[in-house]
Structure 1
Amino acid sequence: MQTDLLETFLDLVDSRSFSRSAERLGVTQSTVSARVVALETALGTRLFDRSRAGTALTAEGVKFESHARALRHGWAEARRAVQPGAGQSLRIGIQTDLAAARIGDWVAGFRARLPGVAFYIEPDYSNQMCEDLLRGSLDFAVMFSPRAQADLHFTTLGEVRYRMVSSDTDRRAGLLAERCIRAAYSPAFEDQHRQLLPELQQAPLAAGQNAAVAGLLASLGGAGFVLEETAAALIAGQGFRAVADVPVITQPVYAALHLRHRTSPLHRRLLRSVQRHFAPR
Protein backbone atom coordinates (compact mmCIF):
# COMPACT_ATOMS: atom_id res chain seq x y z
CA MET A 1 0.00 0.00 0.00
CA GLN A 2 1.34 3.46 -0.94
CA THR A 3 0.67 5.15 2.37
CA ASP A 4 2.71 8.18 1.32
CA LEU A 5 -0.14 9.08 -1.07
CA LEU A 6 -2.63 9.07 1.79
CA GLU A 7 -0.30 10.99 4.11
CA THR A 8 0.25 13.63 1.42
CA PHE A 9 -3.47 13.93 0.70
CA LEU A 10 -4.35 14.32 4.40
CA ASP A 11 -1.57 16.85 4.99
CA LEU A 12 -2.87 18.91 2.06
CA VAL A 13 -6.37 18.76 3.53
CA ASP A 14 -4.92 20.45 6.61
CA SER A 15 -2.41 22.85 5.03
CA ARG A 16 -4.28 23.74 1.80
CA SER A 17 -0.86 24.57 0.35
CA PHE A 18 1.38 22.36 -1.82
CA SER A 19 4.48 24.27 -0.75
CA ARG A 20 3.60 24.09 2.96
CA SER A 21 2.88 20.37 2.76
CA ALA A 22 6.17 19.80 0.94
CA GLU A 23 7.99 21.57 3.78
CA ARG A 24 6.12 19.65 6.48
CA LEU A 25 6.62 16.28 4.81
CA GLY A 26 10.28 16.94 4.00
CA VAL A 27 9.89 16.46 0.24
CA THR A 28 9.90 18.71 -2.82
CA GLN A 29 6.78 20.45 -4.07
CA SER A 30 6.99 18.44 -7.29
CA THR A 31 6.89 15.24 -5.23
CA VAL A 32 3.72 16.42 -3.50
CA SER A 33 2.18 17.24 -6.90
CA ALA A 34 3.21 13.84 -8.29
CA ARG A 35 1.68 12.01 -5.34
CA VAL A 36 -1.60 13.89 -5.73
CA VAL A 37 -1.68 13.10 -9.46
CA ALA A 38 -0.99 9.42 -8.72
CA LEU A 39 -3.81 9.28 -6.17
CA GLU A 40 -6.23 11.13 -8.47
CA THR A 41 -5.33 8.76 -11.32
CA ALA A 42 -5.95 5.72 -9.13
CA LEU A 43 -9.33 7.10 -8.03
CA GLY A 44 -10.28 8.43 -11.45
CA THR A 45 -11.24 11.88 -10.18
CA ARG A 46 -9.80 15.25 -9.13
CA LEU A 47 -9.37 15.74 -5.40
CA PHE A 48 -8.11 19.34 -5.29
CA ASP A 49 -8.71 22.57 -7.17
CA ARG A 50 -5.72 24.93 -7.32
CA SER A 51 -6.12 28.67 -7.88
CA ARG A 52 -4.52 31.95 -6.89
CA ALA A 53 -6.74 31.90 -3.81
CA GLY A 54 -5.17 28.62 -2.69
CA THR A 55 -5.86 24.90 -2.73
CA ALA A 56 -9.35 23.59 -2.01
CA LEU A 57 -10.93 20.16 -1.91
CA THR A 58 -13.30 19.25 -4.71
CA ALA A 59 -16.64 17.65 -3.83
CA GLU A 60 -15.01 14.28 -4.52
CA GLY A 61 -12.06 15.21 -2.30
CA VAL A 62 -14.41 16.01 0.58
CA LYS A 63 -16.04 12.57 0.16
CA PHE A 64 -12.66 10.84 0.06
CA GLU A 65 -11.24 12.50 3.20
CA SER A 66 -12.98 10.27 5.76
CA HIS A 67 -12.07 7.17 3.75
CA ALA A 68 -8.43 8.29 3.59
CA ARG A 69 -8.32 8.66 7.37
CA ALA A 70 -9.87 5.22 7.82
CA LEU A 71 -7.41 3.69 5.33
CA ARG A 72 -4.43 5.27 7.09
CA HIS A 73 -5.62 4.04 10.44
CA GLY A 74 -6.44 0.58 9.09
CA TRP A 75 -2.96 0.24 7.61
CA ALA A 76 -1.34 1.29 10.90
CA GLU A 77 -3.48 -1.25 12.74
CA ALA A 78 -2.68 -3.98 10.23
CA ARG A 79 1.06 -3.38 10.56
CA ARG A 80 0.85 -3.42 14.33
CA ALA A 81 -1.29 -6.56 14.39
CA VAL A 82 1.25 -8.67 12.49
CA GLN A 83 4.19 -7.59 14.61
CA PRO A 84 5.42 -10.13 17.20
CA GLY A 85 3.85 -9.65 20.61
CA ALA A 86 1.05 -7.42 19.32
CA GLY A 87 -1.57 -6.81 21.99
CA GLN A 88 -4.52 -4.53 22.59
CA SER A 89 -4.56 -1.08 21.02
CA LEU A 90 -6.58 2.09 21.54
CA ARG A 91 -7.20 4.83 19.00
CA ILE A 92 -7.31 8.30 20.53
CA GLY A 93 -8.15 11.64 18.93
CA ILE A 94 -6.98 14.90 20.51
CA GLN A 95 -8.08 18.40 19.54
CA THR A 96 -5.31 19.90 17.43
CA ASP A 97 -4.67 22.86 19.75
CA LEU A 98 -4.46 20.60 22.80
CA ALA A 99 -2.18 18.08 21.12
CA ALA A 100 0.48 20.64 20.29
CA ALA A 101 1.30 21.41 23.94
CA ARG A 102 -0.05 18.47 25.90
CA ILE A 103 0.25 15.28 23.87
CA GLY A 104 3.54 14.22 25.48
CA ASP A 105 2.30 14.45 29.06
CA TRP A 106 -1.04 12.86 28.22
CA VAL A 107 0.41 9.90 26.36
CA ALA A 108 2.91 9.35 29.17
CA GLY A 109 -0.08 9.18 31.53
CA PHE A 110 -1.92 6.76 29.26
CA ARG A 111 1.08 4.44 29.09
CA ALA A 112 1.61 4.56 32.85
CA ARG A 113 -2.01 3.59 33.54
CA LEU A 114 -2.25 1.06 30.68
CA PRO A 115 1.27 -0.37 30.22
CA GLY A 116 0.19 -3.31 28.05
CA VAL A 117 -1.75 -1.23 25.51
CA ALA A 118 -0.52 0.23 22.23
CA PHE A 119 -1.80 3.72 21.33
CA TYR A 120 -2.56 5.32 17.98
CA ILE A 121 -2.85 9.10 18.48
CA GLU A 122 -4.29 11.50 15.90
CA PRO A 123 -4.67 15.26 16.39
CA ASP A 124 -7.90 16.40 14.72
CA TYR A 125 -10.93 18.67 14.93
CA SER A 126 -14.13 18.04 16.90
CA ASN A 127 -16.53 17.31 14.04
CA GLN A 128 -14.22 14.73 12.49
CA MET A 129 -13.56 13.07 15.85
CA CYS A 130 -17.30 12.74 16.51
CA GLU A 131 -17.69 11.07 13.12
CA ASP A 132 -14.78 8.73 13.83
CA LEU A 133 -16.18 7.75 17.23
CA LEU A 134 -19.52 6.91 15.66
CA ARG A 135 -17.84 4.83 12.93
CA GLY A 136 -15.64 3.03 15.44
CA SER A 137 -12.37 4.29 13.97
CA LEU A 138 -11.67 6.12 17.26
CA ASP A 139 -12.06 4.73 20.77
CA PHE A 140 -11.67 7.92 22.79
CA ALA A 141 -11.31 11.63 22.06
CA VAL A 142 -10.58 14.94 23.78
CA MET A 143 -12.26 17.85 22.02
CA PHE A 144 -13.64 21.38 22.12
CA SER A 145 -17.08 20.97 20.53
CA PRO A 146 -19.26 18.01 21.50
CA ARG A 147 -21.89 17.17 18.89
CA ALA A 148 -25.16 15.86 20.25
CA GLN A 149 -25.54 12.24 19.13
CA ALA A 150 -27.57 9.49 20.74
CA ASP A 151 -24.61 7.09 20.62
CA LEU A 152 -21.92 9.43 22.04
CA HIS A 153 -21.16 10.20 25.67
CA PHE A 154 -19.35 13.40 26.73
CA THR A 155 -17.67 14.35 30.01
CA THR A 156 -16.58 17.89 30.85
CA LEU A 157 -12.88 17.91 31.70
CA GLY A 158 -12.13 21.58 32.32
CA GLU A 159 -11.03 24.47 30.16
CA VAL A 160 -8.07 26.08 28.43
CA ARG A 161 -7.45 29.82 28.27
CA TYR A 162 -6.74 32.04 25.29
CA ARG A 163 -5.22 35.49 25.77
CA MET A 164 -5.11 38.40 23.33
CA VAL A 165 -1.64 39.69 22.46
CA SER A 166 -0.60 42.49 20.14
CA SER A 167 2.57 43.80 18.57
CA ASP A 168 1.01 47.28 18.39
CA THR A 169 -0.70 48.09 21.67
CA ASP A 170 -1.55 46.86 25.14
CA ARG A 171 -5.03 48.49 25.17
CA ARG A 172 -8.30 47.61 23.46
CA ALA A 173 -8.68 51.18 22.22
CA GLY A 174 -5.58 50.76 20.09
CA LEU A 175 -6.77 47.62 18.29
CA LEU A 176 -7.55 47.94 14.58
CA ALA A 177 -9.67 45.37 12.74
CA GLU A 178 -7.33 45.42 9.76
CA ARG A 179 -4.42 44.47 12.06
CA CYS A 180 -6.23 41.63 13.83
CA ILE A 181 -6.36 37.91 13.15
CA ARG A 182 -9.75 36.59 14.18
CA ALA A 183 -9.41 33.25 15.94
CA ALA A 184 -12.11 30.66 15.19
CA TYR A 185 -11.17 27.78 17.47
CA SER A 186 -14.73 26.54 18.00
CA PRO A 187 -18.32 27.83 17.66
CA ALA A 188 -18.36 28.57 21.42
CA PHE A 189 -15.09 30.49 21.15
CA GLU A 190 -16.36 32.48 18.16
CA ASP A 191 -19.52 33.44 20.06
CA GLN A 192 -17.46 34.74 22.98
CA HIS A 193 -15.12 36.62 20.63
CA ARG A 194 -18.08 38.22 18.83
CA GLN A 195 -19.70 39.38 22.07
CA LEU A 196 -16.45 40.58 23.60
CA LEU A 197 -15.00 42.40 20.57
CA PRO A 198 -17.77 43.16 18.05
CA GLU A 199 -15.64 45.90 16.47
CA LEU A 200 -13.09 43.31 15.32
CA GLN A 201 -15.44 40.97 13.43
CA GLN A 202 -14.41 42.49 10.09
CA ALA A 203 -10.80 41.41 10.52
CA PRO A 204 -9.49 40.35 7.07
CA LEU A 205 -7.70 37.25 8.38
CA ALA A 206 -9.09 34.34 10.39
CA ALA A 207 -7.68 30.97 11.45
CA GLY A 208 -8.94 27.98 13.41
CA GLN A 209 -5.70 26.69 14.90
CA ASN A 210 -3.50 28.19 17.62
CA ALA A 211 -0.30 27.46 15.70
CA ALA A 212 -1.69 29.16 12.59
CA VAL A 213 -2.70 32.32 14.50
CA ALA A 214 0.67 32.42 16.27
CA GLY A 215 2.52 31.96 12.97
CA LEU A 216 0.56 34.74 11.29
CA LEU A 217 1.19 37.06 14.22
CA ALA A 218 4.91 36.28 14.22
CA SER A 219 5.14 36.98 10.47
CA LEU A 220 2.71 39.87 10.05
CA GLY A 221 2.36 41.43 13.49
CA GLY A 222 -1.00 42.63 14.76
CA ALA A 223 -3.27 41.17 17.42
CA GLY A 224 -5.08 37.92 18.11
CA PHE A 225 -6.04 35.34 20.71
CA VAL A 226 -3.62 32.47 21.36
CA LEU A 227 -3.27 29.90 24.11
CA GLU A 228 -1.81 31.37 27.31
CA GLU A 229 1.44 29.44 26.96
CA THR A 230 1.78 30.66 23.36
CA ALA A 231 1.03 34.21 24.49
CA ALA A 232 3.79 33.97 27.08
CA ALA A 233 6.27 32.84 24.41
CA LEU A 234 5.29 35.66 22.02
CA ILE A 235 5.60 38.21 24.82
CA ALA A 236 8.95 36.87 26.03
CA GLY A 237 10.62 36.37 22.69
CA GLN A 238 9.00 38.44 19.96
CA GLY A 239 8.07 41.77 21.45
CA PHE A 240 4.33 41.23 21.82
CA ARG A 241 2.28 42.62 24.70
CA ALA A 242 -0.80 41.30 26.45
CA VAL A 243 -3.84 43.48 25.72
CA ALA A 244 -4.48 44.21 29.37
CA ASP A 245 -8.13 45.31 29.23
CA VAL A 246 -9.37 42.45 27.02
CA PRO A 247 -10.45 39.49 29.18
CA VAL A 248 -9.16 35.97 28.66
CA ILE A 249 -11.51 33.72 26.65
CA THR A 250 -11.96 30.26 28.14
CA GLN A 251 -12.63 27.22 25.97
CA PRO A 252 -14.31 24.19 27.59
CA VAL A 253 -12.71 20.80 26.94
CA TYR A 254 -14.61 17.51 26.77
CA ALA A 255 -13.79 13.81 26.71
CA ALA A 256 -15.88 11.76 24.28
CA LEU A 257 -16.48 8.08 23.69
CA HIS A 258 -19.09 5.79 22.22
CA LEU A 259 -21.85 4.79 24.63
CA ARG A 260 -20.87 1.14 24.31
CA HIS A 261 -17.56 2.02 26.03
CA ARG A 262 -19.04 4.12 28.84
CA THR A 263 -18.64 1.45 31.51
CA SER A 264 -15.47 -0.12 30.12
CA PRO A 265 -12.72 -0.22 32.80
CA LEU A 266 -10.15 0.55 30.08
CA HIS A 267 -11.93 3.70 28.93
CA ARG A 268 -12.62 4.82 32.49
CA ARG A 269 -8.91 4.66 33.24
CA LEU A 270 -8.23 6.75 30.15
CA LEU A 271 -10.77 9.30 31.34
CA ARG A 272 -9.22 9.50 34.81
CA SER A 273 -5.79 9.99 33.25
CA VAL A 274 -6.98 13.01 31.25
CA GLN A 275 -9.02 14.42 34.15
CA ARG A 276 -5.87 14.49 36.26
CA HIS A 277 -4.39 17.11 33.92
CA PHE A 278 -7.38 19.40 34.41
CA ALA A 279 -7.59 19.03 38.21
CA PRO A 280 -7.16 22.30 40.18
CA ARG A 281 -3.59 22.86 41.32
Structure 2
Amino acid sequence: MTLDQLETFLDLCETRSFNRTANRLGVTQSTVSGRVAALEAALGCRLLDRSRAGTELTTEGLRFEPHARALRAGWAAAGQAVRGAGAAAMTMRIGIQHDLLGDRVADWVAALQGAVPDTALYVEADYSAQMCADVRDGQLDVAIHYTPKPHPDLHFESLGEVAYVMVSTEAADLAAVRPDSYILANYAPAFSATHAVLLPELSVGAVSSGQNAVIRALLTALGGSGYVLRQTALELERTGQAARVADAPRIDQPIYAAVHLRNRHRGAHRRVLRALKAHLGARAG
Protein backbone atom coordinates (compact mmCIF):
# COMPACT_ATOMS: atom_id res chain seq x y z
CA MET A 1 0.00 0.00 0.00
CA THR A 2 1.43 3.40 -1.00
CA LEU A 3 0.51 7.03 -0.40
CA ASP A 4 -0.25 7.46 -4.12
CA GLN A 5 -2.76 4.62 -3.91
CA LEU A 6 -4.47 6.21 -0.89
CA GLU A 7 -4.57 9.65 -2.55
CA THR A 8 -6.07 8.15 -5.70
CA PHE A 9 -8.71 6.19 -3.80
CA LEU A 10 -9.71 9.24 -1.69
CA ASP A 11 -9.94 11.41 -4.79
CA LEU A 12 -12.22 8.82 -6.39
CA CYS A 13 -14.39 8.94 -3.27
CA GLU A 14 -15.04 12.60 -4.14
CA THR A 15 -15.21 12.52 -7.95
CA ARG A 16 -16.71 9.04 -8.52
CA SER A 17 -15.00 9.31 -11.91
CA PHE A 18 -11.73 7.71 -13.06
CA ASN A 19 -11.47 10.34 -15.79
CA ARG A 20 -11.89 13.31 -13.41
CA THR A 21 -9.49 11.84 -10.88
CA ALA A 22 -6.88 11.28 -13.58
CA ASN A 23 -7.22 14.92 -14.64
CA ARG A 24 -7.06 16.21 -11.06
CA LEU A 25 -3.99 14.16 -10.19
CA GLY A 26 -2.27 14.76 -13.51
CA VAL A 27 -1.94 11.09 -14.43
CA THR A 28 -3.48 8.75 -17.00
CA GLN A 29 -6.66 6.75 -16.44
CA SER A 30 -4.62 3.56 -16.69
CA THR A 31 -2.45 4.80 -13.82
CA VAL A 32 -5.55 5.46 -11.73
CA SER A 33 -6.87 1.98 -12.54
CA GLY A 34 -3.52 0.40 -11.69
CA ARG A 35 -3.31 2.15 -8.33
CA VAL A 36 -6.83 1.08 -7.41
CA ALA A 37 -6.15 -2.50 -8.49
CA ALA A 38 -2.94 -2.59 -6.41
CA LEU A 39 -4.76 -1.19 -3.37
CA GLU A 40 -7.57 -3.71 -3.73
CA ALA A 41 -5.02 -6.51 -4.06
CA ALA A 42 -3.25 -5.36 -0.89
CA LEU A 43 -6.52 -5.28 1.04
CA GLY A 44 -7.95 -8.42 -0.51
CA CYS A 45 -11.30 -6.88 -1.42
CA ARG A 46 -13.00 -4.76 -4.06
CA LEU A 47 -13.33 -1.08 -3.14
CA LEU A 48 -15.00 0.39 -6.22
CA ASP A 49 -17.54 -0.77 -8.77
CA ARG A 50 -17.32 0.71 -12.28
CA SER A 51 -20.19 0.73 -14.76
CA ARG A 52 -21.59 2.86 -17.54
CA ALA A 53 -23.65 4.64 -14.90
CA GLY A 54 -20.51 5.70 -13.06
CA THR A 55 -18.26 4.65 -10.20
CA GLU A 56 -19.59 3.71 -6.76
CA LEU A 57 -17.96 2.62 -3.52
CA THR A 58 -18.59 -0.96 -2.47
CA THR A 59 -19.51 -1.75 1.13
CA GLU A 60 -15.83 -2.48 1.75
CA GLY A 61 -14.89 0.82 0.10
CA LEU A 62 -17.25 2.73 2.37
CA ARG A 63 -15.72 1.01 5.39
CA PHE A 64 -12.17 1.69 4.21
CA GLU A 65 -12.63 5.41 3.41
CA PRO A 66 -12.31 6.79 7.00
CA HIS A 67 -9.26 4.58 7.58
CA ALA A 68 -7.70 5.87 4.35
CA ARG A 69 -8.20 9.45 5.54
CA ALA A 70 -6.63 8.61 8.89
CA LEU A 71 -3.66 6.97 7.19
CA ARG A 72 -3.12 10.01 4.97
CA ALA A 73 -3.38 12.39 7.92
CA GLY A 74 -0.97 10.25 9.93
CA TRP A 75 1.54 10.33 7.08
CA ALA A 76 1.28 14.14 6.84
CA ALA A 77 1.77 14.49 10.60
CA ALA A 78 4.80 12.21 10.46
CA GLY A 79 6.28 14.30 7.66
CA GLN A 80 5.86 17.49 9.66
CA ALA A 81 7.38 15.89 12.74
CA VAL A 82 10.60 14.85 11.02
CA ARG A 83 11.15 18.03 9.00
CA GLY A 84 13.66 20.30 10.63
CA ALA A 85 12.39 23.34 12.53
CA GLY A 86 15.78 24.68 13.57
CA ALA A 87 15.99 25.13 17.30
CA ALA A 88 12.21 25.02 17.66
CA ALA A 89 10.60 22.05 19.36
CA MET A 90 7.89 21.72 16.70
CA THR A 91 6.37 23.33 13.61
CA MET A 92 2.80 24.58 13.28
CA ARG A 93 1.12 25.42 9.99
CA ILE A 94 -1.54 28.13 10.24
CA GLY A 95 -3.98 29.07 7.48
CA ILE A 96 -5.81 32.40 7.70
CA GLN A 97 -8.61 33.76 5.51
CA HIS A 98 -7.26 36.16 2.89
CA ASP A 99 -9.20 39.18 4.15
CA LEU A 100 -8.14 38.64 7.76
CA LEU A 101 -4.46 38.37 6.94
CA GLY A 102 -4.42 41.23 4.45
CA ASP A 103 -1.28 43.32 4.66
CA ARG A 104 -0.86 42.80 8.42
CA VAL A 105 1.03 39.51 8.33
CA ALA A 106 3.57 40.72 10.91
CA ASP A 107 0.81 41.45 13.47
CA TRP A 108 -0.61 37.96 13.14
CA VAL A 109 2.80 36.30 13.34
CA ALA A 110 3.68 38.33 16.46
CA ALA A 111 0.46 37.19 18.13
CA LEU A 112 1.19 33.57 17.26
CA GLN A 113 4.80 33.73 18.40
CA GLY A 114 3.64 35.07 21.75
CA ALA A 115 1.37 32.04 22.17
CA VAL A 116 3.89 29.37 21.12
CA PRO A 117 7.39 30.91 21.43
CA ASP A 118 9.22 27.58 21.01
CA THR A 119 7.40 26.72 17.78
CA ALA A 120 8.42 27.36 14.19
CA LEU A 121 5.50 28.84 12.27
CA TYR A 122 4.28 28.56 8.72
CA VAL A 123 1.52 31.07 7.94
CA GLU A 124 -0.41 31.29 4.67
CA ALA A 125 -3.50 33.02 3.30
CA ASP A 126 -6.19 30.88 1.69
CA TYR A 127 -9.94 30.33 1.39
CA SER A 128 -12.30 28.36 3.63
CA ALA A 129 -12.92 25.23 1.56
CA GLN A 130 -9.26 24.55 0.87
CA MET A 131 -8.18 25.26 4.45
CA CYS A 132 -10.80 22.91 5.89
CA ALA A 133 -9.58 20.19 3.50
CA ASP A 134 -5.96 20.89 4.47
CA VAL A 135 -6.73 20.61 8.21
CA ARG A 136 -8.64 17.40 7.60
CA ASP A 137 -5.71 15.94 5.63
CA GLY A 138 -3.02 17.10 8.07
CA GLN A 139 -1.53 19.80 5.82
CA LEU A 140 -2.56 22.55 8.26
CA ASP A 141 -2.73 22.51 12.06
CA VAL A 142 -5.16 25.41 12.44
CA ALA A 143 -7.37 27.29 9.97
CA ILE A 144 -9.00 30.67 10.67
CA HIS A 145 -11.76 31.12 8.13
CA TYR A 146 -15.25 32.30 7.23
CA THR A 147 -17.14 29.17 6.17
CA PRO A 148 -16.90 25.88 8.10
CA LYS A 149 -17.04 22.74 5.97
CA PRO A 150 -18.44 20.09 8.36
CA HIS A 151 -16.57 16.80 8.49
CA PRO A 152 -16.37 14.07 11.17
CA ASP A 153 -12.62 14.69 11.57
CA LEU A 154 -12.90 18.47 12.10
CA HIS A 155 -13.63 20.53 15.21
CA PHE A 156 -14.84 24.14 14.78
CA GLU A 157 -14.90 27.02 17.25
CA SER A 158 -16.35 30.51 16.91
CA LEU A 159 -13.71 33.22 17.39
CA GLY A 160 -15.76 36.37 16.86
CA GLU A 161 -16.71 38.60 13.95
CA VAL A 162 -15.31 41.20 11.60
CA ALA A 163 -17.34 44.11 10.26
CA TYR A 164 -17.82 45.08 6.62
CA VAL A 165 -19.21 48.53 5.80
CA MET A 166 -20.23 50.23 2.58
CA VAL A 167 -18.05 52.99 1.16
CA SER A 168 -18.46 55.03 -1.97
CA THR A 169 -16.63 57.50 -4.15
CA GLU A 170 -19.87 59.08 -5.31
CA ALA A 171 -22.72 58.56 -2.82
CA ALA A 172 -23.25 59.91 0.69
CA ASP A 173 -26.35 57.80 1.41
CA LEU A 174 -28.07 54.66 0.11
CA ALA A 175 -30.54 56.59 -2.03
CA ALA A 176 -27.63 57.91 -4.09
CA VAL A 177 -25.87 54.55 -4.61
CA ARG A 178 -25.98 53.64 -8.28
CA PRO A 179 -26.58 49.93 -9.07
CA ASP A 180 -24.67 50.26 -12.34
CA SER A 181 -21.47 51.25 -10.51
CA TYR A 182 -22.00 49.05 -7.46
CA ILE A 183 -19.25 46.47 -6.83
CA LEU A 184 -20.85 43.39 -5.29
CA ALA A 185 -18.92 41.71 -2.48
CA ASN A 186 -19.15 37.93 -2.18
CA TYR A 187 -16.91 37.25 0.80
CA ALA A 188 -18.74 34.19 2.11
CA PRO A 189 -22.16 32.51 1.86
CA ALA A 190 -23.20 34.06 5.20
CA PHE A 191 -22.21 37.53 4.00
CA SER A 192 -24.02 37.12 0.68
CA ALA A 193 -27.18 35.86 2.36
CA THR A 194 -27.26 38.82 4.76
CA HIS A 195 -26.54 41.25 1.92
CA ALA A 196 -29.39 39.79 -0.16
CA VAL A 197 -31.85 40.26 2.71
CA LEU A 198 -30.73 43.80 3.61
CA LEU A 199 -30.04 45.13 0.12
CA PRO A 200 -31.89 43.02 -2.46
CA GLU A 201 -31.81 45.84 -5.04
CA LEU A 202 -27.98 45.85 -4.91
CA SER A 203 -27.41 42.09 -4.81
CA VAL A 204 -26.72 41.78 -8.53
CA GLY A 205 -23.64 43.84 -9.36
CA ALA A 206 -22.02 44.47 -12.71
CA VAL A 207 -18.69 43.53 -11.09
CA SER A 208 -18.20 41.25 -8.09
CA SER A 209 -15.32 39.84 -6.06
CA GLY A 210 -14.71 37.73 -2.99
CA GLN A 211 -11.59 39.51 -1.80
CA ASN A 212 -11.40 42.79 0.13
CA ALA A 213 -8.19 43.94 -1.60
CA VAL A 214 -9.75 43.50 -5.04
CA ILE A 215 -12.88 45.48 -4.16
CA ARG A 216 -10.74 48.23 -2.66
CA ALA A 217 -8.64 48.40 -5.82
CA LEU A 218 -11.72 48.48 -8.05
CA LEU A 219 -13.29 51.26 -5.98
CA THR A 220 -10.21 53.46 -6.09
CA ALA A 221 -9.55 52.80 -9.78
CA LEU A 222 -13.07 52.82 -11.24
CA GLY A 223 -15.16 54.57 -8.61
CA GLY A 224 -18.51 53.40 -7.32
CA SER A 225 -19.74 51.82 -4.09
CA GLY A 226 -19.16 48.53 -2.27
CA TYR A 227 -18.53 46.76 1.01
CA VAL A 228 -15.02 46.58 2.48
CA LEU A 229 -13.60 45.73 5.88
CA ARG A 230 -14.20 48.44 8.48
CA GLN A 231 -10.44 49.01 8.83
CA THR A 232 -10.15 49.42 5.06
CA ALA A 233 -13.03 51.91 5.13
CA LEU A 234 -11.22 53.97 7.77
CA GLU A 235 -8.07 54.03 5.63
CA LEU A 236 -10.01 55.08 2.52
CA GLU A 237 -11.69 57.87 4.48
CA ARG A 238 -8.41 59.03 5.97
CA THR A 239 -6.80 59.30 2.53
CA GLY A 240 -9.86 60.92 0.97
CA GLN A 241 -10.33 58.12 -1.58
CA ALA A 242 -13.85 57.16 -0.48
CA ALA A 243 -16.37 57.86 2.27
CA ARG A 244 -18.68 55.66 4.24
CA VAL A 245 -22.29 55.50 3.06
CA ALA A 246 -23.94 56.84 6.19
CA ASP A 247 -27.17 54.84 6.29
CA ALA A 248 -25.90 51.58 4.77
CA PRO A 249 -26.17 48.66 7.22
CA ARG A 250 -23.03 47.11 8.65
CA ILE A 251 -22.63 43.42 7.84
CA ASP A 252 -20.84 41.27 10.42
CA GLN A 253 -19.02 38.18 9.17
CA PRO A 254 -18.47 35.37 11.72
CA ILE A 255 -14.95 33.95 12.07
CA TYR A 256 -14.25 30.31 12.89
CA ALA A 257 -11.25 28.19 13.77
CA ALA A 258 -10.86 24.64 12.49
CA VAL A 259 -8.56 22.02 14.00
CA HIS A 260 -8.40 18.28 13.54
CA LEU A 261 -10.51 16.46 16.11
CA ARG A 262 -7.45 14.71 17.50
CA ASN A 263 -5.80 18.09 18.26
CA ARG A 264 -8.72 19.94 19.85
CA HIS A 265 -7.40 19.51 23.42
CA ARG A 266 -3.65 19.79 22.76
CA GLY A 267 -1.96 22.58 24.71
CA ALA A 268 -0.23 24.27 21.77
CA HIS A 269 -3.39 24.32 19.70
CA ARG A 270 -5.43 25.75 22.58
CA ARG A 271 -2.84 28.52 23.13
CA VAL A 272 -2.87 29.37 19.44
CA LEU A 273 -6.66 29.60 19.37
CA ARG A 274 -6.71 31.84 22.44
CA ALA A 275 -4.07 34.12 20.91
CA LEU A 276 -5.90 34.34 17.60
CA LYS A 277 -9.19 35.07 19.33
CA ALA A 278 -7.57 37.86 21.38
CA HIS A 279 -5.86 39.28 18.31
CA LEU A 280 -9.09 39.23 16.33
CA GLY A 281 -10.89 40.93 19.21
CA ALA A 282 -8.25 43.66 19.36
CA ARG A 283 -8.59 44.27 15.61
CA ALA A 284 -12.36 44.45 15.87
CA GLY A 285 -12.24 46.91 18.77
TM, length-normalised to structure 2: 0.69
Aligned pair in 2 of structure 1 residues 113, 84: CA closer, same or farther (>3 Å)?
closer
Deviation at 1:95, TM superposition (A): 0.3
1:153-211 CA-to-partner distances (Å, cap 9, x unmatched) read: 11111100011001111111111111010000000000111111111122110000000
Aligned pair in 2 of structure 1 residues 242, 60: CA closer, same or farther (>3 Å)?
farther
Deviation at 1:260, TM superposition (A): 0.4
Please tell me whether Structure 1 or Structure 2 has the larger radius of gyration of its CA atoms. 2
1:172 and 2:174 aligned: yes
2:124 corresponds to: 122
1:41-66 CA-to-partner distances (Å, cap 9, x unmatched) read: xxxxxxxxxxxxxxxxxx7998359x
Residue 115 of structure 1: SS of its match in structure 2?
coil
Q: How many residues align?
A: 213
Distance in 1 between the 2:252 and 2:23 partners? 31
Q: Which amino acid aligns with 2:205?
A: A
Tell me the percent identity.
Answer: 42
Q: Which amino acid aligns with 1:157?
A: L
Aligned pair in 2 of structure 1 residues 96, 229: CA closer, same or farther (>3 Å)?
same
Residue 102 of structure 2: SS of its match in structure 1?
helix
Question: For 1:201, which of 200, 203, 224 is the aligned residue?
Answer: 203
TM, length-normalised to structure 1: 0.70
Distance in 1 between the 2:156 and 2:199 partners? 30
Q: Which amino acid aligns with 2:130?
A: Q
Distance in 1 between the 2:175 and 2:153 partners? 47
Q: Which amino acid aligns with 1:153?
A: H
Deviation at 1:235, TM superposition (A): 1.6
1:112-143 CA-to-partner distances (Å, cap 9, x unmatched) read: 22121101111000000001011110000111
Aligned pair in 2 of structure 1 residues 136, 85: CA closer, same or farther (>3 Å)?
same
Residue 247 of structure 1: SS of its match in structure 2?
coil
Aligned pair in 2 of structure 1 residues 198, 83: CA closer, same or farther (>3 Å)?
closer
2:43 corresponds to: none
Aligned pair in 2 of structure 1 residues 143, 151: CA closer, same or farther (>3 Å)?
same
Whether the 8 Å contact between 1:151 and 1:258 is mirrored in structure 2 is yes
Aligned pair in 2 of structure 1 residues 219, 62: CA closer, same or farther (>3 Å)?
farther
1:235-278 CA-to-partner distances (Å, cap 9, x unmatched) read: 22143121111111100001110000011111011111112124
